[in-house]
Structure 1
Amino acid sequence: RYLVGRDPHDLENLFRRVYSSGFTQRPDVSGMGCFSALEMACWDIIGKEADKPVYKLLGGQVHETLRSYTYLYPHTGSVHSEDARGKNVYNDPDMAAACALEYVEQGFNAVKLDPAGPYTAYDGHQPRLIDIDLSARMIKAIREAVGNRADILFGTHGQFTASGALRLARAIEPYDPLWFEEPVPPDMPEVMAQVARGTSIPIATGERLTTKFEFARVIENRAATILQPDLGRSGGILETKKIAAMAEAYHIQVAPHCYCGPIVGAANIQLAVTLPNFLILESLKQWDGFHATLLKKKIGWQDGNVIPSKEPGLGVELDEAVCDAHPYSGLDLHLQMMQTPLMP
Structure 2
Amino acid sequence: MKLANLETFVVGNPPPRHGGRYFIFVRITTACGITGVGEIYNATFGPDICCAMARDMFARHFDGADPHHIEALFRKSYGAGFTQRPDVSVMGVFSGLEMACWDIVGKAAEKPVYELLGGRVNDRLRSYSYIYPASGDVYPDPDTPNAYNDPAIAAEVALGMVEQGFTALKFDPAGPFSIYDGRQPGLDDIALSEVFCREIRAAVGTRADLLFGTHGQFTVSGAKRMARAIEPFDPLWFEEPIPPENPADMAQVAAYTSIPVAAGERLCTKHEFARMLEVSAASILQINLGRVGGLLEAKKIASMAETRSAQIAPHLYCGPIVAAANIQIATCTPNFLILESIGTFDGPYMSAVKGGITWENGYIIPPTTPGLGLELDDAAIATMPYEGTKLHLEMAQTPITP
Q: Please confirm whether the aligned pair reaches a TM-score higher than 0.5, indicating the same fold.
A: yes
Structure 2 distance, partners of 1:206, 1:212, is 11
Q: CA RMSD in A?
A: 1.2
What are the Cα deviations for residues 243-300 of structure 1, in whole angstroms up to 9, with x where unaligned? Answer: 0000001110110001111100001111100001000000001001112332322100
Structure 2 distance, partners of 1:332, 1:140, is 35
Q: Aligned to 1:325, what secondary structure does the other structure show?
A: coil
Partner of 1:297: 355
Select 1:73's aligned residue among 132, 135, 160: 132
What are the Cα deviations for residues 52-101 of structure 1, in whole angstroms up to 9, with x where unaligned? Answer: 00011000000000000001112325301248x52221111011111111
Give the AA of the match of 2:117. L
Measured after TM superposition, the shift of residue 334 of structure 1 is 6.0
Give the AA of the match of 1:44. D
Give the AA of the match of 2:281. A
Measured after TM superposition, the shift of residue 22 of structure 1 is 1.5
Q: Aligned to 2:218, what secondary structure does the other structure show?
A: coil
Structure 1 distance, partners of 2:392, 2:150, is 19
Moved over 4 A (4+): none
Structure 2 distance, partners of 1:51, 1:259, is 29
Structure 1 distance, partners of 2:233, 2:388, is 38
Structure 2 distance, partners of 1:82, 1:297, is 34
Select 2:331's aligned residue among 243, 262, 273: 273
Partner of 2:103: 44
Structure 2 distance, partners of 1:321, 1:99, is 35
Percentage identity across paired residues of the two chains? 62
Partner of 2:219: 161
Alignment of 1:70-109 (within 5 A): 70-76=129-135, 78-82=137-141, 85-109=143-167
Partner of 1:6: 65
CA contact (8 A) 1:178 1:202 kept: yes
1:331 lines up with 2:376 in the alignment: no
Structure 1 distance, partners of 2:157, 2:81, is 47
Alignment of 1:98-247 (within 5 A): 98-247=156-305
Give the AA of the match of 1:259. Y
CA contact (8 A) 2:128 2:341 kept: yes
Structure 2 distance, partners of 1:141, 1:168, is 17
Give the AA of the match of 1:43. W
Structure 2 distance, partners of 1:120, 1:274, is 36
Structure 1 distance, partners of 2:335, 2:181, is 31
Structure 1 residue runs of 5 or longer lacking an equivalent are none
Structure 2 distance, partners of 1:343, 1:276, is 43
Measured after TM superposition, the shift of residue 306 of structure 1 is 0.3
Partner of 2:311: 253
Q: Aligned to 2:169, what secondary structure does the other structure show?
A: strand
Partner of 1:282: 340
Structure 2 distance, partners of 1:76, 1:341, is 30
Partner of 2:52: none
Q: Aligned to 2:262, what secondary structure does the other structure show?
A: strand
CA contact (8 A) 2:170 2:211 kept: yes
CA contact (8 A) 1:110 1:150 kept: yes
1:33 lines up with 2:92 in the alignment: yes
Q: How many residue pairs end up in the alignment?
A: 343
Q: Aligned to 1:244, what secondary structure does the other structure show?
A: helix
Structure 2 distance, partners of 1:59, 1:44, is 16
Q: Which region of structure 1 is more displaced relative to structure 2, 329-338 or 186-195?
A: 329-338
Structure 2 distance, partners of 1:140, 1:334, is 32
Q: Structure 2 vs 1, CA of residues 232 and 103 (structure 1 numbering), >3 Å: closer, same or farther?
A: same
Give TM-score, length-normalised by structure 2. 0.83
What are the Cα deviations for residues 78-127 of structure 1, in whole angstroms up to 9, with x where unaligned? Answer: 301248x5222111101111111111111000010111101111111011
Structure 2 distance, partners of 1:300, 1:294, is 17
Bigger strand fraction? 2
CA contact (8 A) 2:355 2:373 kept: no
CA contact (8 A) 2:134 2:147 kept: no
Give the AA of the match of 2:104. I
CA contact (8 A) 2:103 2:113 kept: yes
Structure 2 distance, partners of 1:53, 1:249, is 26
Give the AA of the match of 1:239. E
CA contact (8 A) 1:119 1:336 kept: no
Structure 2 distance, partners of 1:290, 1:149, is 29
Give the AA of the match of 1:316. L
Give the AA of the match of 2:102. W
Structure 1 distance, partners of 2:83, 2:146, is 44
